[in-house]
Chains A and B, each alone.
Chain A
Amino acid sequence: MDDLKSKYLTLIAEAGDEATLEDIRITAVGKKGEVALKMRELGKMTPEERQVAGPALNALKDEINSALAAKKAALADAALDERLRSEWLDVTLPTRPQRQGTIHPISQVSEEVTAIFAEMGFSVAEGPRIDTDWYNFDALNIPGHHPARAEMDTFYMHRAEGDNRPPHVLRTHTSPVQIRSMEASGAPTRIICPGGVYRADYDQTHTPMFHQVEGLAIDKDISMANLKWVLEEFVKSYFEVDGVDLRFRASHFPFTEPSAEVDIRCSWEGGTLKVGEGDDWLEILGSGMVHPKVLQAGGIDPNEWQGFAFGMGIDRIAMLKYGIPDLRAFFDSDLRWLRHYGFAALDVPTLHGGLSR
């Protein structure tokens, strides 16, 4: 019996493919195989002999079967290995191209600004780009003869002959939205109004269209000190710094009184702006307490309500934060620029996740 065992185990070990293995199986443990023949001989044995030979034969059969199974698995593994060896790919080849879309910096920064002011309770108001001269000027305490009208480089819409109304204007600032918003929802109110504005000016630092965000807060007891806090919080959050000095300088805008221009402390080193440190001051926005006449124009009683307003350039603060050098390039749609300064689709600015990466 030991001969049988060693004979078949050797044959199995030497088998080179599955067919050989099957032949071995049939010869060894098949119905008419050598082990089966031995089994048949058991009947001729004495019970004593049978008690020894029976289990031994069964054990032999099991051993050969498991050797066959093991060998079969080994052969399959070897075959797979062989196949995989032939399935080599050059994984350094480039992938199928996938377009990478981008969000324009103006959209991104508008969302950043919205996220910050929303946290402070400001909602987003919008208004028409073409507006009447009343909303754009008169209601904002800029009467027809006011020098500010001439200084604003206003775009006027064509008037048909016989239409003697004053020509409509392309809004020169987002401030008319203040008036429309006051008319619509009264006081108290807290809004920001981001959007495109237009002035007939084109040179190194001016484009005939740019973007502003206007802020307006009206309540019973809002003061300029609240304005300063709001702007401090905004600047800190927007530029993602721990603290920043703001300097209020007296100024004049027809629609606010008192009025202040606001500078932030910064440094310029090697052409890079750092907000919150250094000895330079950079003008970033204009602001003030809403002029009583403007409140009146918006249908709000200035004896009862007061508040602040501010306006700043979205393009400008985008340039400052992200180091974008040229305003004109914002509107040129150069693919290289869009890819370089644009933002990924999923870079949604949030206060909990951070405004920028």
Chain B
Amino acid sequence: MKFTLSWLKQHLDTTATVDEITYALTDLGLEVEGVEDRGAKLADFTIGHVLSAEKHPDADRLRVCQVATDEGTKQIICGAPNAREGITVVVAKPGVYVPGIDTTIGVGKIRGIESFGMMASEREMELSDEHDGIIELPSGEVGERFVDWLAANDPAKVDPVIEIAITPNRPDALGVRGIARDLAARGLGSMRLCPAPDVEGAFVSDISVSIDEDTLDGCPVFFGRLIRGVQNGPSPAWLQDRLRAIGLRPISFLVDVTNYFTYDQNRPLHVFDADKVAGNLRVHRATGGEEIIALDEKNYTLQPGQMVISDENGAESIAGIMGGAETGCTEETVNVFVESAYWDPVQIAYAGRALKINSDARYRFERGVDPSFTPVGLDHACAMILEHAGGTASNMISAGAVPDTSRAYRLDAARVQSLVGMDIPESEQRQTLTALGFRLEGDMAHVPSWRPDVMGEADLVEEVARVASLTKLQGRPLPRLTTGVPKPVMTPIQRREQIARRTAAALGYNECVTYSFIDQASAVLFGGGDDTTRLENPISSDMSHMRPALLPGLLQAAARNQARGFMDLALFEVGPAFHGGEPGEQHLLVSGLLVGRTGPKDVHGASRPVDVYDVKADAEAVLNAMGAPAKVQIMRGAQEWWHPGRHGRICLGPKKVLGVFGELHPRVLEAMDIKGPAMAFTLWPAEIPMPRKTGATRQALDISDLQSVERDFAFVVDADVEALTLVNAAAGADKALIDDVRVFDEFIGGSLGEGKKSLAITVRLQPRDVTLKDADIEAVAQKVVEKVTKATGGTLRG
């Protein structure tokens, strides 16, 4: 919302400076977005007097002028037809920037004669479109700054323009008068009177209006007057200046009047050329399919139920949103029908959204204009038309009735203290509300018709506090809910998330935060990409689906880094993935990705390609940090984006999967443009069983003073026997005595023959009661061999 200082002062009698006004506006909740000081760009122009003007010897249209300036008499060549001796002009000396032609003036030669500056037209200074000649001032001293002269003689031209942001609850501030009212309540001046004009109805309008019964809830009231014999044409300069200052293009007086009151009093109006209206006007609902060319010269097709104003020829105006071109006013209009109606905000909002029309009228009606002002606004406009364009007005015709929005809420003076914490005397509270237009009856505050946002007692508090200034609010300690040391606040899952993150970082992974949406192709690769997770209005096709997993985002991140020349990567992310489109169909994941080598090549020869056992170790470390049990099963059969032979599911049973680690499928890597091997893990923190913990106490440490004994075994087994099967078998040989079983060697093929391998284990025995004798050890060893042989079909290697 833009307005000029002088426009504001039409409603507000104030001596406040622009700075004071803008500070107050922002503090009141009408946030100032900018102040345009239009005088600034004219600051260097000065007033001069043409002493003589001779024809240029080599050019018929040019004159050689001697101009008195603050720096003495200067010679200026001028092409304007009105450049002549004796006139007072505006001079741009060399070095001055002229905004209208985007040029800084220099000393130049024109057809052989030197020129020391220029005399400016209004257009060259962006004051108007006037460019028939240079400015001739009726007064002004040589050397006086032109802006100072303008400020004294034509202030509208250098009026500061203030732009404020209007929150949706304040439609009243979409009119300059509403803004003035807030400032007056704050104490920055007093409201000027703006009485309803007395418009004489000289005849009975031959256009009448009706509202269909089923449309009364969308258009409760409609007023109009017919004015005959107007002379349309350009608006008076002051009106043009105001509209131009706030960025509106003056069109013709009749149209400009409607725009003026839209901004002046938040009262959108429409003018019909009465001679183009056939018969009477009818407000009704579209049956659907009606076509109308609106004032923006675009063709719109109405949908069933949308409100429309029709005459005998059909739809003539999209109600409350935009008038029709067919019956619009032109320079030639002599008989005008002025409309002022009240439209339901919700219906206008939906219709405007459906038709995709953003007009000033829609913007205001959907936020809520003052219903009571509907007939008054009409008369303001008619009075202005009669004054400037002549003619005679009809009686006021109407249909429907002004909706009753009257309501009152109890002003509880103590509520300001209890809700806001500010101490404001009741008398001041009442004064503030009165200044804002509330009517107080006892402790009931009646809400003014222009404040649709005030819907309860809390709103009264808000108004009082806002006007008193929240800047004055003093902080007050929030008492603790409990005394003493605060308790921890994080849930077990939140702690797991944090621990997983910190552990992965400690293992050398860089944390990424990638978008929750990815392209469909990548989503499909990881089991997603269907319609349930599709966005209806994605910002681009790269972000069309909610991610089914974290890995596609990490792989894309890896590909981007590889494109930048970083080939070895360790990335991880902790965050939600989506298995459906309903709230809650998301699950927390931890995913890590290793690509390339373990590090750059180095003098120690430590660098090697990453492998499955790297991610297995990291997955186990992160799971362990999150509190997962140490004893897990490793199973196969994870989803198709893993290398079928090089992955493992970390399980606590066939259905309880804590995580997956492995090599990613080469086809996935190819599709996602990843170079080199890529290993990954994904963990489900919520799947880890909650510890049955009752206290911080650990189990007592159980250690034996007796020396432990280690024995090594090597078994020849089929190549597809898994080490874990063998280890579990060996460990089961004597659960009391065997403390640990570790695989320390694997040897495949060679002298063992095709399809065979050797696995070597170390079994550690920890006696509890007596030192082990050779016979005891031998007995356990035999059982180990037995168990392993039975479980794996292998043999002890000789």
Contact = CB atoms under 8 A, between A and B. Distances in A.
Q: Is A bound to B?
A: yes
A129 B515 CA distance: 12
Contact of A118 (B476, B486, B531): B486
Interface in B143-191: 167-170
Interface string A69-100: 00000000000000000000000011111111
Interface residues of A, number: 99
Interface in A95-117: 95-104, 106-107, 111, 114
A312 B506 CA distance: 30
Given A124-B490, A130-B546, A257-B462, A331 B535 contact: no
Given A100-B508, A156-B536, A107 B604 contact: no
Contact of B583 (A131, A145, A250, A260): A131
B421 A208 contact: no
A225 B422 contact: yes
Nearest to B349: A145
A229 B513 CA distance: 32
Given A145-B345, A333-B560, A334-B561, A224 B420 contact: yes
A232 B475 contact: yes
Given A94-B602, A158-B536, A103 B466 contact: no
Interface in B702-751: none
Contacts of A25: none
B480 interface: yes
Nearest to B482: A121
Contact of A348 (B26, B345, B353, B502): B502
B52 interface: no
A123 B492 CA distance: 13
A221 interface: yes
B581 A346 contact: no
Contacts of A157: 533-536, 581
Given A96-B602, A250-B28, A168 B583 contact: yes
Interface stretch (A16-24, A26-34, A196-204): A196-204
A226 B583 contact: no
Interface string A118-161: 11111110101111100100000001111110110001111110
A99 B475 contact: no
A258 B473 CA distance: 13
B570 interface: yes
B586 A129 contact: yes
Contact of B509 (A101, A146, A251): A101
Given A107-B501, A121-B481, A159 B536 contact: yes
Contacts of A232: 475
Contacts of B515: 208-209, 331
A128 to B, nearest CB: 4
A348 B503 CA distance: 12
A251 B490 contact: no
A291 B504 CA distance: 42
Interface in B518-560: 531-539, 543, 546, 554, 557, 560
A247 interface: yes
A101 B507 contact: yes
A292 B576 CA distance: 32
A249 interface: yes
A222 interface: yes
Interface string B349-378: 110010000000000001100000000000
Contacts of A254: 168-169
A4 interface: no
Interface in A151-209: 151, 155-160, 167-168, 170, 188, 190, 196, 198, 200-202, 208-209
A223 B419 contact: yes
A261 interface: yes
B582 A130 contact: yes
Interface string B122-137: 0000000000000000
A167 B536 contact: yes
Nearest to B603: A93
Given A93-B603, A97-B600, A223-B421, A196 B462 contact: no
A339 to B, nearest CB: 7
A330 B462 contact: no
A345 B349 CA distance: 51
A54 interface: no
Given A97-B607, A157-B534, A338-B512, A122 B168 contact: no
Interface string B86-116: 0000000000000000000000000000000
B236 to A, nearest CB: 34
A342 interface: yes
B631 to A, nearest CB: 27
Contacts of A346: 502, 506
Given A129-B586, A200-B539, A225-B475, A339 B27 contact: no
B456 interface: yes
A230 to B, nearest CB: 5
A289 B466 CA distance: 13
- Residue of A104, A106, A261 ringed by the most chain B CB atoms within 10 A: A104
A202 B506 contact: no
Nearest to B166: A252
Contacts of B367: 147
A198 B516 contact: yes
Contacts of A104: 511-513
Interface string B395-430: 000000000000000000000011111100000000
A302 to B, nearest CB: 8
B459 interface: yes
Given A196-B516, A289-B458, A292-B458, A118 B488 contact: yes
B471 A248 contact: yes
A331 B513 contact: yes
B465 A250 contact: yes
Interface string A234-249: 0000000000001111
Nearest to A257: B458
Contacts of A289: 419-420, 458
A300 interface: no
A212 interface: no
A168 B367 CA distance: 25
A213 interface: no
Contacts of B502: 103, 345-346, 348
Interface string A303-328: 00010000000000000000000000
Contact of A335 (B28, B420, B569, B586): B569
Given A101-B504, A224-B421, A121 B480 contact: yes
Contacts of A150: 353
Given A118-B489, A228-B473, A217 B508 contact: no
Given A188-B481, A345-B505, A121 B486 contact: yes
B535 A145 contact: no
A37 to B, nearest CB: 51
B477 A229 contact: yes
A348 B418 CA distance: 39
Interface string B461-487: 110011001110111111011100010
Interface string B552-590: 001001001100101001110011101001111110000
A2 interface: no
B606 A97 contact: yes
15 contacts: A94-B603, A96-B602, A96-B606, A118-B490, A123-B490, A126-B494, A130-B578, A130-B583, A130-B586, A196-B516, A224-B470, A225-B422, A225-B474, A249-B26, A261-B31
Interface of A: 93-104, 106-107, 111, 114, 118-124, 126, 128-132, 135, 143-148, 150-151, 155-160, 167-168, 170, 188, 190, 196, 198, 200-202, 208-209, 217, 221-226, 228-232, 246-252, 254, 257-261, 289, 291-292, 306, 330-336, 338-339, 342, 344-346, 348
Given A168-B582, A208-B543, 7 more contacts: A107-B513, A223-B476, A225-B474, A258-B465, A335-B564, A336-B566, A338-B510
Closest 8 CB pairs of A and B: A225-B421, A99-B508, A97-B599, A250-B29, A229-B475, A252-B167, A333-B557, A101-B505
